[in-house]
Structure 1
Amino acid sequence: MATPDAATSDLTDTGPGDSTPDPHRLPSTVLPSRYDVRIRPSLDDASFSGHVRIALDVQRPTSTVVLNAIELGIDSVSVNGADATWELDATTERMTVTTRDELTGAAELEIEFTGILNDKLRGFYRSTYTDDDGVEQVIATTQMQATDCRRAFPCWDEPAFKAVFGITLDIDDGLTAISNGSEIERSSTEGRTVIRFADTMVMSPYLVAFVVGRLEMTEPVDVDGIPLRVVHVPGKSALTGFGLDVGTFSLRWFQEYYGIPYPSDKVDLIALPDFAAGAMENLGCITFRESLLLVDPDTSTQSERQNVADVVAHELAHMWFGDLVTMRWWNGIWLNEAFATFMEIAACDAFAPEWERWTSFGLERSMAFEVDSLASTRPVEFEVRSPAEADGMFDVLTYQKGGALLRMLEQYLGAERFREGVSHYLRTHAHANTETNDLWDAIEATSGEPVRQMMDSWIWQPGYPLVTAEIATVDGEAVVELRQERFEFAGGDSADGGNGWMIPVHVRSGAETTTLLLEPERSVTTAPVSDTDAIIVNAGGHGFFRVAYGPELRARLADPEALAGLTTLERYCLVDDAWAATLAGRMSAVDLLDLLDVFADEREYGVWQAVVVALGGVSRLVEGDALDALRGRVRTLVRPALSDLGDPVAGESDLTRKLRGLLTRTAGSLGRDDEIIATCRDLFTRSLDGASVDAELLSAATAVVAASGDAADYDRMLDGVSSASTPQEQLRLLFALAEYDDEQLAARTCELAMSDSVKTQNAPFLLRAAIGNRGQGASSWQFVQEHWDEANARFPGNTIVRMVDSVKLLNTAEAVDDARRFFADHPIEQATQTLEQILERQRVNAALRERDGSALDRELLSGAAG
């Protein structure tokens, strides 16, 4: 286990306060304290001009000022009113200003510049929508994280260089302009309007935002003195209510949780037609994809509403954790994002307890388990130097693993002690920059627990533990014996076993006890247990580890009465751990199917999530008659629960409706149940005719019709994409086009993704879905290879590796070799480690098919024959 001090010593020596040359870190000889930025966008020709005046604190006498700038034209530069010379270096994305006289103390730098509104959804960029008259309208908007503020104006574009920002926008009359602060002054002349906004607090440049276009906004909601609005393109006001409700609740809830007032003067939630990420936590000016803010509660699924609630809460959580207190450098981005992930779940659990949000987080956490089971995983925190390496931090290990580790810590300490530590951290470091250890030390100071020691074992080494639990006899009494080792999939390269984790293991056998399992291979015994009690390790299901039960303990848990006594998340973990054990070669696919059969009486959505994931994975191991036999087992497994649920009734819970939708899709798409397919066709047709159909069933029916559909069905869905009334309906239909199991229709979908008909924010994900198609994935992957250069030129850089994520599902030896050869010649420089993980996961899937495919084939065919 690397120590934090050793791992960060390089970073500590190259940040502000040190002049060691580094191509990715600015010298700290001169520091900015305030920016006055004036921007004049021209939406018609996708350009802008600007002026920035920067107040400087000169730390050591110098005649050279170095800051960041890229893709900007520089018209003039002056320092303290005197002209200065400058040079731009596109390789290092730097601007070097040289003065005639040596600078000392306070100074002022002024720069006149020009730029383009790019189509790459980064920096100051161009977004478009079509109005009711069929006219394309342009929005000029920003996305600065991680290192793209330098594309909007020259600046010290690193998180530790905090400053106050005063923004002024010079816009055409009739347009709307929004920035971080409230509008405080407005003047008009010669067809233009100049708007000045209130100064921001001291903050990092990547949090600066401004948006200009023909936009509308809701009336502000007063949240304890803070006005909160939703901003959107014209005509979508009917979709703003839910986002306003979530935003109002979350803003109030976070102020109470943190015990600190909101650190700015207003909140605007802005829905944008084009956005590369999901949303961005710009102080007071939070930007979103439309589908993650605008929603119709009456026609959306619970998952679609939950996505909106999650993202709104996540970004508002950042106003404190990320904006008020900010990581010192990008190696610490995990802490910002992990904490916001933790807080989004906590806030949504308070907003809608009936959603059982901590239970559903189990599936999201499993995505992190999947990556962290690979030899090519990484520590949660690691050294980051370049912008490309910073981009690589935005993955499931940062968000889902990080959030899960914080949840595990909270459950160990207790919710109140954890909250007290977080509040202490934010108060201590308000308006400053921090390292990871600052949070652990703050929580340790208020709780008295060895928080840093515990969390260091999880943050600074890759992977996670498998805890083995067996019955042992100690002094004549039966006890539970626990051991830990690193969990890893079979089929990947051998991984280091790690140095062990400090694991808080909650064990329940009647009463619940907590044990700290400290070292690798060390045995720990819990309190004596009876001869018959079911014993659950990882009680509550919140620990970030998997459990392998010995034969006796496993037999006790297999009892239906014992299973019924477990929580939903505990049963979810049993299934999820079994699927992982199958991938790791610790359990056979045949035994896994037998285990899944035990859950025919299950009626909780969360558990069925895990069952369906496992069934989907197993279905990729067989073909032909064996696949037909597997489909029969799926139908047999799903039908009892689906029959019990019946038709939707008024007043039933969201999760009941959600379960009905999941089982309908599973029976129709995976089980190819003719009766369910017919029902889904009827539901889909009725919806096209204007009938009201339960949203969960309609979502399932759309997928089932696509999975079994023909060209006529395809055309109807394609027409629906352009006429959809909500962002959620549009995406539902768009991604269903990737479900068709027909070579010509699959080719149409791929061609569509490369056309102007699909926004570049969505096209990579449509191609990802096409590659994931069980029957046509290989041909879709071939299409992507043939159009690789075009995809890289058109799509946002951070979406390219996401586009190819489903290559891992192509699990033949030929597909493995093909992917290896292709990426050897076409690396994804901005996501090298993520790509390595995708390719290793493909090898794991291929190894599972090679190892278990034949035995599963025989078992299924013998069962069908019997």
Structure 2
Amino acid sequence: MGKGFFISKTVGIVGIVLGAGAVATIIALSVVYSQEKSRNNEVQPTTTTTTTSPTTTPTTVATAAVTTEGAVTTEAATTAPSNEPWDQWRLPHTLSPQTYNVTLWPRLQEDENKLYIFTGHSSVIFTCLEKTDLILIHSNKLNMTKDPVLTTLGSGSAPTIISHMLYPKTQYLVIKLNEELTAGESYELYTEFQGELADDLGGFYRSEYFEKDVKKVVATTQMQPTDARKAFPCFDEPAMKAVFHITLLHDPGTTALSNGVVIDEVEVTMDDTALIKTTFAPTEKMSTYLLAFIVSEFISIEENIDGLQIRIFARNEAINSGQGDYALNTTGPILKFFERYYNVSYPLPKSDQIALPDFNAGAMENWGLITYRETALLYDKDISSNGNKERVVTVIAHELAHQWFGNLVTIKWWNDLWLNEGFASYVEYLGAHEAEPDWNIKDLIVLNDVHRVFAIDALASSHPLSSKEEDVQRPEQISEVFDAISYSKGASVLRMLSFFLTEKLFTRGLQTYLDHFKFNNTVYTDLWDHLQMAVNETETDLPKSVRDIMDRWVLQMGFPVVTIDTATGQISQEHFLLDPTTKPEPSDFNYEWYVPISWKKPDAQKPIYWLLQKNAEFEDMKTNTDEWVLANIDVNGYYRVNYDNANWERLLNVLKTSRTSIPVLNRAQLIDDAFNLAKAGIVPTTLALRTTLFLSGETEYIPWESALKNLDYFYLMFDRSDVYGLMQDYVKTQVTPLFEHFTKLTSWENVPNGHTDQYNQVNALRVACSTGLEDCKTLVKNWFEKWMENPTVNPIHANLRSTVYCNAIATGGAKEWDFAWDMFDKATVAAEKDKLRAALACATQPWLLNRYLGYTLDPSKIRKQDATSTITTIAGNVVGQSLAWDFVRANWEYIFNQFSTEFELKQLMQFRDDFAHIGFGSGTLAIQQSIERTQANINWVDQNKEQIAEWFKNPV
């Protein structure tokens, strides 16, 4: 799944409106988004449409009524015993599904109750592995419209169903039999059901959009991780692979899609309604979470590469305006690259990709039918920015990588999610590089993943990549593992593994792994075994086995800071914690790692040195007064580096006098390491600030971006103090040469050719304007005024629009804000809508921001999928901070990054205590990390404010 998922579900919040015209309320904390909110109000097990109760029943059940559709309403509930089989979160190892036949009919019009529904019937053929008189199959928010029917595929008759019940707590349909199923025999379970085609972005749901002022409805799916059970009863665990036969009934004029190719399409009549019945070819053996079926009025473009059909689906207007062309042109080359990389042919006859107006994740790798947010698949060459283009190609590469790694070979359980998502997050850069070889995009993993996740993994409340299986059971626990650790740390350590093995050995082991386990399930150590086989077949010299090395990176949280003393050659490692006073959970490895240290001196790069214990001595790392040592070349290792003071001084001098002697990624690394070492109290804060002095002569994007991200922390900590003005003056001095560089290079009428140069042009404009450079402010003001004078012609280059919009709205008033809102409302390109939506949060008038916060509760103004990020953006505005906090005590991105006062810490802790009786589900870790970060911020400000102010007065 695309990276947007863990952002929306780990730090997400969802607004709900209680009654027409009533007060709007946003449920607190990331976990309490719409799907999980219902789990806090679960009904207890109750018997439905059955003749007798199960022979073993809870001692107390809810008083319930069953409607004509079979829905259960609860008047009272008490806690059921936990020793019943249906009270366990994992399926028993008694039944194994083989094939499903699923027919669904989604209604794209409201019924008499103003609901969108779907009806369906499903049969699953399963084999009994161990004799049992109980069938447990997942079913969530489905009403059984007829009693289930069990038949046998062997000789004799099947046991009789004596009762069945829906058990919402663990999301089971519980079927009790009069006698045991026979081990080794196969049976077929048939169910008929009805569900709501809700707008909750999970399971089988609906998405809405307008075309020529006419509302259109799309029936679509998002099954990962545990929502296939909302579409039909199924054994909804990743190891329960089966073959799926899907049939969709849908209105004439609509198109039906699923994982397989269409094998039949006929006109039928159901309930006096003329319909199209579309039957799809059976899938390969696959997991339920990878299923997809969609009914829409979308159109497509396509091409055929070596017999493989590639199609891009989207709204008619988007396709007709060419927004799908870039995705179509890049998909083929990326697919072919992964075929070579994996040494496995693409396992399906078609590759469909579809852009949805409403989609909670960034994208989802459904096998053969990948779903995307519009911003992750559609690109308009005249309106979308360079960043939008990169997002499209990297997300496509991420999801296509999953077609093999994740779909063909699948993790057995969600505790190993990091392997699935971390791998795709690593190789997405390789796939994107294949499509755009001139971008040098592989370097950006350092900014986007390594540095990003360092900030989280440096907390004592971080967690290991791989959890124990028993610790990831409930749906909210499963959702919690979709976080930056799984995605970005997973990518970072796999990149490190590929580095010290070499890419050739890494891919060799990967290829045998995929071939051996295709159509099956694995645990992460299976990959280590195959990589070790590749090592054993060569003369590669590893100091330990692959498993021994990697277990220390996978089974314990955090990472080391490696300290090098160039006077003695001593090297040491220590668990790096942002707040060294915090105490992490004990580790079986005592927070020691096997660290591959790549390093160089001025004359040459040196061989890898392995640090295998706390301390070691390496004679070659001693230097004379003219030499410097630089470690972790190109940031291939997942660790930070500290040096003795003399070596720091030599490196600072090199940055100032001959910065190109240091690789561009390491210039960024020196900044990021120094700032974070300073936060932890390991080096002086003034040393970190001195790493930015060379920027006045730097034109490369990656070092600049590293510095700006780190300086953002200072802005957040000091935005309400006198340090702020001093800092603004310094940053303006540093950025003015960069602004003048792009003025000479482009006259601000064009963009530079280089991919990252285009990003740095944006940085130059953004920072120059935000620090008050008059030439920049005049430029931006004139552009925006010209657009307001003629709204049909936007004179602002797509790359620069986000910056221009934000600055114009920040310095303007209601007139500018209302114009931008009108442009947002009329925009038909999702990327442009996103730019305007973010810029509207830049307003400096509190009443405008309060109005905007209110809009997040109205899906007709701000889509549900965008509510979280909109509130987060408002909270990132100094003026909007208190407004957002008052509006909802659950903006976790804001909490995580910006709380720095004792009062705010007390508010947060009080909030935690107030809602402790409800629980925080998958938000538990987020709030714990927020409190830890807040305390660290408080301590840091207290200790550093005075010296920082003095340094900015006289930066040396």
- TM-score, normalising length from structure 2? 0.83
Aligned position for 1:154: 233
Q: How does 1:11-410 map to 2 (within 5 A)?
A: 23-45=88-110, 46-74=116-144, 75-80=146-151, 84=161, 85-104=163-182, 105-132=185-212, 134-190=213-269, 191-218=274-301, 220-237=302-319, 238-364=322-448, 365-383=450-468, 384-410=472-498
Aligned position for 1:573: 669
Aligned: 1:823 with 2:912: yes
Aligned position for 2:927: 835
Question: Contact between 1:53 and 1:109, CA under 8 Å: does it hold in 2?
Answer: yes
Q: Deviations over 1:248-299 (max 9, x none)?
A: 2211111111000111121110100111111101000100001110111333
Higher RCO (CA < 8 A, seq sep 6+): 2
Q: What is the letter of the counterpart of residue 620 of structure 1?
A: L
Question: Contact between 1:176 and 1:213, CA under 8 Å: does it hold in 2?
Answer: yes
Q: What is the letter of the counterpart of residue 735 of structure 2?
A: V
Q: Deviations over 1:21-64 (max 9, x none)?
A: 87111012111100010001112131011111111111123332
SS at match of 1:817: helix
Aligned: 1:452 with 2:523: no
Which has the higher mean CA deviation after the structures are superposed, 445-454 or 63-72? Answer: 445-454
Q: Distance in 2 between matches of 1:859 and 1:464?
A: 31
Aligned: 1:752 with 2:852: no
Deviation at 1:543, TM superposition (A): 0.9
SS at match of 1:54: strand
Aligned position for 1:476: none
Residue in structure 2 matching 1:533, options 611, 622, 627: 627
Structure 1 746/266 Cα, relative in aligned 2: closer, same or farther at 3 Å? same
Question: Contact between 1:73 and 1:114, CA under 8 Å: does it hold in 2?
Answer: yes
Deviation at 1:523, TM superposition (A): 4.3
Residue in structure 2 matching 1:553, options 632, 635, 647: 647
Aligned position for 1:656: 757
Question: Contact between 1:572 and 1:607, CA under 8 Å: does it hold in 2?
Answer: yes
Q: What is the letter of the counterpart of residue 553 of structure 2?
A: W
Which has the higher mean CA deviation after the structures are superposed, 182-191 or 842-851? Answer: 842-851
Structure 1 773/372 Cα, relative in aligned 2: closer, same or farther at 3 Å? same
Between the aligned residues of both structures, percent identity stands at 30
Deviation at 1:629, TM superposition (A): 2.1
Q: Distance in 1 between matches of 2:425 and 2:399?
A: 9
Aligned position for 1:599: 695
Q: What is the letter of the counterpart of residue 166 of structure 1?
A: H
Aligned position for 2:740: 643
Q: Distance in 2 between matches of 1:630 and 1:499?
A: 37
Q: Distance in 1 between matches of 2:563 and 2:233?
A: 55
Q: Distance in 1 between matches of 2:389 and 2:895?
A: 25
Matched positions, count? 822
Deviation at 1:302, TM superposition (A): 1.7
Aligned position for 1:678: 778
Q: Distance in 2 between matches of 1:316 and 1:441?
A: 25
Deviation at 1:98, TM superposition (A): 2.5
Question: Contact between 2:206 and 2:218, CA under 8 Å: does it hold in 1?
Answer: yes
Q: Distance in 1 between matches of 2:753 and 2:593?
A: 43
Aligned position for 2:71: none
Q: Distance in 2 between matches of 1:22 and 1:431?
A: 30
Deviation at 1:101, TM superposition (A): 4.6
SS at match of 2:132: strand
- TM-score, normalising length from structure 1? 0.92
Q: Deviations over 1:610-630 (max 9, x none)?
A: 111122211233335432221
Deviation at 1:530, TM superposition (A): 5.2
Question: Contact between 1:770 and 1:776, CA under 8 Å: does it hold in 2?
Answer: yes
Aligned position for 2:65: none
Deviation at 1:244, TM superposition (A): 1.1
Deviation at 1:531, TM superposition (A): 4.3
Which has the higher mean CA deviation after the structures are superposed, 141-150 or 348-357? Answer: 348-357
Structure 1 644/482 Cα, relative in aligned 2: closer, same or farther at 3 Å? same
Aligned position for 1:463: 558
SS at match of 2:865: coil
CA RMSD of aligned residues (A): 2.0
Question: Contact between 1:467 and 1:548, CA under 8 Å: does it hold in 2?
Answer: yes
Question: Contact between 2:334 and 2:434, CA under 8 Å: does it hold in 1?
Answer: no
SS at match of 1:170: strand
Question: Contact between 1:483 and 1:524, CA under 8 Å: does it hold in 2?
Answer: no
Aligned position for 1:628: 725
Structure 1 759/706 Cα, relative in aligned 2: closer, same or farther at 3 Å? same
Q: Deviations over 1:156-182 (max 9, x none)?
A: 000010000110001111111100000
Structure 1 781/347 Cα, relative in aligned 2: closer, same or farther at 3 Å? same
Aligned position for 1:712: 815
Q: Distance in 2 between matches of 1:471 and 1:315?
A: 45
Structure 1 504/859 Cα, relative in aligned 2: closer, same or farther at 3 Å? closer
Question: Contact between 1:492 and 1:843, CA under 8 Å: does it hold in 2?
Answer: no
Aligned position for 2:834: 731
SS at match of 1:212: strand
Q: Distance in 2 between matches of 1:298 and 1:185?
A: 40
Q: Distance in 2 between matches of 1:537 and 1:148?
A: 46
Question: Contact between 1:301 and 1:699, CA under 8 Å: does it hold in 2?
Answer: no
Which has the higher mean CA deviation after the structures are superposed, 585-594 or 635-644? Answer: 585-594
Which has the higher mean CA deviation after the structures are superposed, 683-692 or 713-722? Answer: 683-692
Question: Contact between 1:68 and 1:150, CA under 8 Å: does it hold in 2?
Answer: yes
Q: Distance in 2 between matches of 1:226 and 1:492?
A: 57
Question: Contact between 2:633 and 2:666, CA under 8 Å: does it hold in 1?
Answer: yes
Q: Distance in 2 between matches of 1:314 and 1:239?
A: 20
Deviation at 1:847, TM superposition (A): 2.1
Structure 1 20/522 Cα, relative in aligned 2: closer, same or farther at 3 Å? farther
Q: Distance in 2 between matches of 1:154 and 1:361?
A: 40
